[in-house]
């Protein structure tokens, strides 16, 4: 019998890649989303009889209790993502990013598996060298703090894995361009210039398909990995903003990069992240930063048209 995976926020940027990936790898998928953005990104999944869609809200306890009992595995992707969005509506962010996760934990049993997506932003500003999973977390924003609260509670339960995701990039049926690589590459193609604030701030990156692979890997190796957090990123892509732009410029030669000494980036994260712990389990990323940049460039005409219609 196929294992049943409940994915909340399933029609979002990551879920729209993860759902078809898990279906293709032999899982039954229950996709829960409120379709707040009127997205149709999961339409191709309906041809698979192992797919079921639930229109609903993750804050609805009755609904969550009903759907959780039908699942062997829960991947709670539903979230208000990023510092600006969480600051705009801190009440909603708290309800979805923390309280809804607590509802899932409340209604699961020790036999069920939870794979939680945390963020590398939880490390905040780190000047002491490489960020490993043993380093104390230092979230700077409401977004980061909520993620840390949820991770802590889930790991203490002993029935969850937390993946601290690097900044995700790449193409999805539910496309986002506010993520750093996607954003900078779009600007290179569309504007042909960018103004950088605090160009030396480092980030780590990971392709969206590799994130889907990491969740699959976590399901397959859950007993060895449960109760622990793992950084998920490209070890070859711990780059500052200037270095990222120079990578993009390789493929968009007339991309003009200007560093401003006036102003500051509202996102003050700055860190170098180690992915060694996850890599030692046998997981390795497959998609390079360069490949991701090239696919965004190839998709640029479509992305630009989509944004015009938003």
89-120 tens-digit pLDDT:
888 989 999 999 999 999 999 899 999 999 88
pLDDT at 141 (0 to 100):
84
**pLDDT of 253-292, one tens digit each?**
999 999 987 655 555 566 788 999 999 999 999 999 999 9
Q: Using CA atoms, how far apart are residues 177 and 303, in angstroms rounded to an integer? A: 9
pLDDT digits (tens, 9 = 90+) for 144-194: 899 999 999 999 999 999 999 999 999 999 999 999 999 999 999 999 999
Residue 33's nearest CA partner among 22, 42, 44 is: 42
Cβ 153 vs Cβ 103: under 8 Å? no
Residue in this structure with the two tokens 């892509």, named with its chain if needed: 237
pTM of the predicted structure, to 2 decimals = 0.94
Domains 4-169+205-232 and 180-203+236-270+287-309 share a fold: no
Q: Where are the domains of the chain?
A: 4-169+205-232, 180-203+236-270+287-309
- Asked if CATH classification 3.30.420.40 holds for the domain at 4-169+205-232, the reply, yes or no, is no
- HSE, side-chain direction, 13 A CA sphere, residue 154: 33
Q: Can you say whether the dihedral through the CA atoms of 30, 32, 175, 204 is positive or negative?
A: negative
In whole angstroms, how far apart are CA 292 and each of 165, 207, 237?
Answer: 16, 7, 12
pLDDT confidence bin for 129, thresholds 50/70/90? low
Instruction: Extract the tokens encoding 22.
Output: 């898990």
Q: Which top CATH class is 180-203+236-270+287-309?
A: alpha beta
Alpha-carbon torsion (274, 74, 173, 266), positive or negative: negative
């Amino acid at each position: 019998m196929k294992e049943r995976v409940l994915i909340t926020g399933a029609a979002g940027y990551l879920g729209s890649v993860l759902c078809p990936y898990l279906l293709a790898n032999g899982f039954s998928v229950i996709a829960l989303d409120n379709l707040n953005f009127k997205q149709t990104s999961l339409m191709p999944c309906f041809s698979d009889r192992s797919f079921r869609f639930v229109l609903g809200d993750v804050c609805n306890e009755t609904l969550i209790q009903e759907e959780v009992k039908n699942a062997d595995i829960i991947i709670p992707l539903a979230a208000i993502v990023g510092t600006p969005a969480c600051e705009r509506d801190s009440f909603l962010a708290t309800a979805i990013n923390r309280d809804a996760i607590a509802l899932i934990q409340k209604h699961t049993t020790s036999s069920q598996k939870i794979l939680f997506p945390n963020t590398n932003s939880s490390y905040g500003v780190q000047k002491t060298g490489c960020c490993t999973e043993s380093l104390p977390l230092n979230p700077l924003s409401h977004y980061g703090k909520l993620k840390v609260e949820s991770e802590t509670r889930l790991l203490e339960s002993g029935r969850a894995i937390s993946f601290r995701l690097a900044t995700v990039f790449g193409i999805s049926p539910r496309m986002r361009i506010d993520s750093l690589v996607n954003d900078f590459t779009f600007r290179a193609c569309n504007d042909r210039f960018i103004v950088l604030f605090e160009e030396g701030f480092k980030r780590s990156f990971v392709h969206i398909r590799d994130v889907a692979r990491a969740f699959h890997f976590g399901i397959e190796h859950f007993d060895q990995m449960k109760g622990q957090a793992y950084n998920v990123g490209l070890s070859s892509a711990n780059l500052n903003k200037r270095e990222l732009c120079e990578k993009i410029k390789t493929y968009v030669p007339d991309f003009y990069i200007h560093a401003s000494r006036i102003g500051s980036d509202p996102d003050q994260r700055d860190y170098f992240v180690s992915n060694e712990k996850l890599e030692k389990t046998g997981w390795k990323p497959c998609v390079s930063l360069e490949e991701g940049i090239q696919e965004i460039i190839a998709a640029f005409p479509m992305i630009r048209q989509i944004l015009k219609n938003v």
